[in-house]
Structure 1
Amino acid sequence: MSSSKAAPQIVAIIVLAILAFALGLYVARSSNEAPPDIEGLLWPAPPQLSAFSLTDIHGKPFTENALVGKWTLLFFGFTHCPDVCPTTMKTLHIVAERLRENPSFQATGQVLFVTVDPARDTPAVVRDYVHYFDPNFLGATGNDEELKSLARQIGIVYVQVKTADPKIYSVDHTASIFLLTPKLQLVSVLSPPFEVSNLIERIQTIIDFIEG
């Protein structure tokens, strides 16, 4: 074959090779991307939860180690909350009951309530509160600095709303539910209003995607 005739064929082969390489990159990249039914549910770069120290409902240390190896639904609230907190806790009970039908969540799933009112919410108070909604729920409290440290990591805010009587106050706080992976990655923030079936579907979709 003459060089003049071979040149176009060589160019064609090179072009095809480049296209094949580009297609391979696209397929590889696409295989790692979230499918359409999960887009918008996951944080693109999930932050990693670092060390923290609180107190559990038995008065013992509660650290990040209690979350390792577990899917955790995390909610911040306070026991004197008149509406948002009890409503969300009831919703979490129903959601957890349904998710426990999945062997994966039953073995590695948990719900954690962290108070934003440490002055009134002692370990015993938190214990009675969380167990009223579900005996399997975990609860934690701590001093102001310990709670603020965890709150900063998660990205929640809370502020005490005072009245003329210093003993009577409320707490405004972020009302979202946070989903943590067994590797302590904050992969999703689930914001109110909550609809049980939709919440279950979203959580299960995320778990299936990450574990699959």
Structure 2
Amino acid sequence: MFDETQNKIINATMNLVMERGYSSTTTKDIARLAKVNECTIFRKFKGKKEIVLSAMQLPKWNPNLSESDFSYVGDLAKDLVSFSEVYMNKVTPEMVKISIGLRTPELYPYTSEGILKIPQVFKKVLINYFEEMKDKINPTDYESMAMMFISMNFGFVFLDASFGRKLTQLEKRDYISNAVRIFVDGISKK
């Protein structure tokens, strides 16, 4: 899709966006990190915005979460652990940093739909799943339940992206296991 030079420019740009944000990333910085002349950037792309929008098409820079990523067996705990693992394997701390870097006012109108797609897909999957599992869970508003589960997962990734190991030493696997157990205990019919 992109040639080697374009990929170097895209990777440099996204690494800088992740580190500094979009507004603080200059084409001069991109050229330096990509090891190309600044004029090469403008021969390959119209500008910084086009680089970012191009990057969002690549799996390396876009989690591309889809409904087909999720499968289940009908066991609340196993299924929700699986859902969390799928989500956190795609929505990594790096992806969160990029998402935050792409929320700058001059770029957000072009990136918001792509950023929003991830939680929308996860929410839809969860609501459908909870509706299907209604015989095993307490009656409730499934959208609220889905939002709670999304927040529980995103919160861990966001805090990891923000603070690394400074806030908690919990491994992702242990967090998922414990959080899902507590969540399932709270929603299961007794």
Q: How would you bin the TM-score normalised by the shorter chain?
A: under 0.3
TM-score by length of 2: 0.25
Higher helix share: 2
Q: Which has the higher contact order (CA 8 A, sep 6+)?
A: 1
Higher strand share: 1
Larger Rg: 1
